[in-house]
Amino acid sequence: MKNKLIVNFSPHLHKDESVSKIMWMVVLSLLPVGAAGVFIFGLSALRVILLGVVSAVAAEGILQGITKRKITVFDGSAIITGLLLAYNLPPKVPFWFPIIGSFFAIAIGKQIFGGLGQNIFNPALVGRVFLMASWPKYMTTFIAPQNYDAVTSATPLALLKEGKLLEKFSYLDLFLGKRGGCIGEVCILALILGAVFLLLKGYISWHIPVTYIATTGVFAYIFGLKGLFTGDWLFHILTGGLILGAFFMATDYVTSPLTRKGQIIFGIGCGLITAIIRLWGGYPEGASYAILMMNAATPIIDRFTRNRIYGAR
Amino acid sequence: MKKYFQEFFKGIIRENPTFVLVLGLCPTLAVSLSVINGIGMGIAATFVLLGSNVIISLIRNIVPDRIRIPCFIVVIATFVTIVEMTMKAYSPVLDRALGIYVPLIVVNCIVLGRAEAYAQKAAVLNSFFDGLGMGIGFTLALILISAIREFLGAGKILGHTLIKGFTPAFMFSMPSGALLVIGLLLGFFNLLKERK
């Protein structure tokens, strides 16, 4: 007779959730962002998104086939990686750009470590940083939004860095995505929509995103251009990849701390690094580097914020 | 004769200093930017290895055990100085490209490692072939790494463009690219070893 006693980790609650269901929900929550990106930047954005997703799924299948692991291309995680990578790219990049990025993200960011759940860095960000380090020219060539009448080519943060932020963006424009930028980072409204869905469903908790965004905002406010406590904090929150990163990439289950306390430390760390890179660093935007650095710190955070077992000292 | 061949060939594959012993990674990371640098560094290190192995093997019975490391360093430094001066005189371009990493061969772990682990205990001829094999193994590893990095990072091999229209990935010219390439190659060679 087979042993029927199943020993498993706590909590011993059964819920109608599975990894792949949550992944598909995240995909669903990301769709409005993509739609907004395509609406703002035109069909070239759609091409980038499709190529990114298809090649991420292909890369996952090919690599799992080569390494003779179970092929799990339909659990949605590769699709998320492809989507997030494409959202982190400018809308007009050469066709091979999202393909190479997705392959690198899946191969080096994920499968090398052993697949879903084993990776230490967020795969999509690994792909993005690889592309940024390899072909900075394509990664920083932005186009103007097409369905609005604004004419901008650089991102607001890049203009700020170069000291060329002459015409002030209105907060409403920034909120709706009327600016140059990456496909998925411009339309804050769509991002918030997806994020609220995930928060209400309980798939992500508020701890990382809220502390992350708040820390960046506070820091930007304290160290303003005209002196202490004069910074334009709302501008810093609404521009760059902060919202996309905070809600959809910093909250990745695999690469962020497990406990609430750890998540708060993680969020504050991300916020600090993002603000420091933006204010004094060499790049105009630092969200992706901030999240990757804190990913590296996650095991340490987890070690020092372990929950006390009830009854133990 | 067969014994010497064994000493020679073990450094190339079975005990390759870069991929099996994982020694001397700092110069490997730093100079593997282009194949020509890799070859230059490899030859320089091979010459030093050869010389230091032979001399240390010759003096192995008269050096007191307690001060052996300083003695080895003096021997190694002598050969490094020869290499450095020769390079400055005959190939200033390479000298500039390799920079500080030529004098740093003095503290290269392969050279000291072979002196400590092999030459101070072995006969002269054995040490000669050990040094030669290790040096060539190091050179081949450098050539492999730098060929991958030069091709991916600059789109060239030995300064010649191979594929027209290929946009090189600049990251492979940076330190992060070196770490990535070496890590992947190490994993690949370990995989081959496991399969065997």
d(CA A175, CA A237): 10
Written as six digits, the tokens of A152 are 């901008």
- Give the residue from chain A lying closest to B181, CA to CA: A108
Residues in B touching A95 (Cβ below 8 Å): none
Residues in B touching A130 (Cβ below 8 Å): 169, 171
Residue B108 DSSP label: -
Q: Which residues contact B103 (CB under 8 A, 6 or more apart)?
A: B80, B84
Distance (Å) from the alpha carbon of B162 to chain A's nearest alpha carbon? 19
Mark which residues 108-167 of B lie under 8 Å from A by CB: 167
- Number of structural domains chain B divides into: 1
C-alpha to C-alpha distances, A103 to A79, A82, A90, A128, A292, nearest whole angstrom? 12, 9, 18, 11, 18
Residues in B touching A135 (Cβ below 8 Å): 167, 169-170
- Give the residue from chain B lying closest to A138, CA to CA: B167
Using 50 as the pLDDT threshold, list the residues of chain A that sit under it: 149-151
Q: Which residues contact B151 (CB under 8 A, 6 or more apart)?
A: B157, B162, B168
Q: Which residues contact B108 (CB under 8 A, 6 or more apart)?
A: B24, B27, B45, B48
Distance (Å) from the alpha carbon of B26 to chain A's nearest alpha carbon? 22
Inter-chain touch B180–A108, beta carbons under 8 Å: yes
ipTM value: 0.82
Cis previous bond, A156, omega within 30? no
Task: Determine the residue among A66, A134, A293 to mutate to test chain B binding: the one whose Cβ has the most chain B Cβ atoms within 10 Å.
Answer: A134
CA dihedral sign, ordered A282, A288, A290, A296: negative
Q: Residue ranges of the domains in chain A?
A: 19-304
Q: Within its chain, how far is the Cα of A221 from the centroid?
A: 23
pLDDT confidence of residue A12: 67
Measure the N-to-C terminal CA separation of chain A; round to a whole number of Å.
41
The residue length of chain A stands at: 313
Question: What element of type H or E holds B161?
Answer: strand B160-161
Tokens 């750009």 -> residue: A97
Mark which residues 83-112 of B lie under 8 Å from A by CB: none
Q: Which residues contact A66 (CB under 8 A, 6 or more apart)?
A: none
C-alpha to C-alpha distances, A135 to A41, A106, A109, A113, nearest whole angstrom? 21, 19, 18, 25
Written as six digits, the tokens of A312 are 């133990």
Inter-chain touch B171–A133, beta carbons under 8 Å: yes
pLDDT confidence of residue A117: 85
Q: Can you give the residue range of the structural domain that contains B107?
A: 2-195
CB pairs under 8 A between A and B: 18
pLDDT confidence of residue A149: 47
A51, A91 in Cβ contact below 8 A?
A: no
Using 70 as the pLDDT threshold, list the residues of chain B that sit under it: none
For the segment A112-142, what is each residue's pLDDT rounded down to a tens digit?
Answer: 998 888 899 999 999 999 999 999 888 888 8
pLDDT confidence of residue A150: 46
Percent of chain A with pLDDT strictly greater than 90: 54
pLDDT confidence of residue A166: 55
d(CA A139, CA A97): 9
For the segment A260-306, what is each residue's pLDDT rounded down to a tens digit?
Answer: 999 999 999 999 999 999 988 888 888 999 999 999 999 999 999 88
Q: How many other C-beta atoms are found inside a 10 Å radius of the C-beta of residue A144?
A: 17
d(CA A164, CA A166): 5
Provide CATH code, domain A19-304.
Answer: 1.10.3430
pLDDT confidence of residue A148: 54
A215, A271 in Cβ contact below 8 A?
A: yes
Distance (Å) from the alpha carbon of A95 to chain B's nearest alpha carbon? 13
Q: Within its chain, how far is the Cα of A167 from the centroid?
A: 28
Residues in B touching A112 (Cβ below 8 Å): 187
Tokens 């392969």 -> residue: B110
Written as six digits, the tokens of B98 are 């390799």
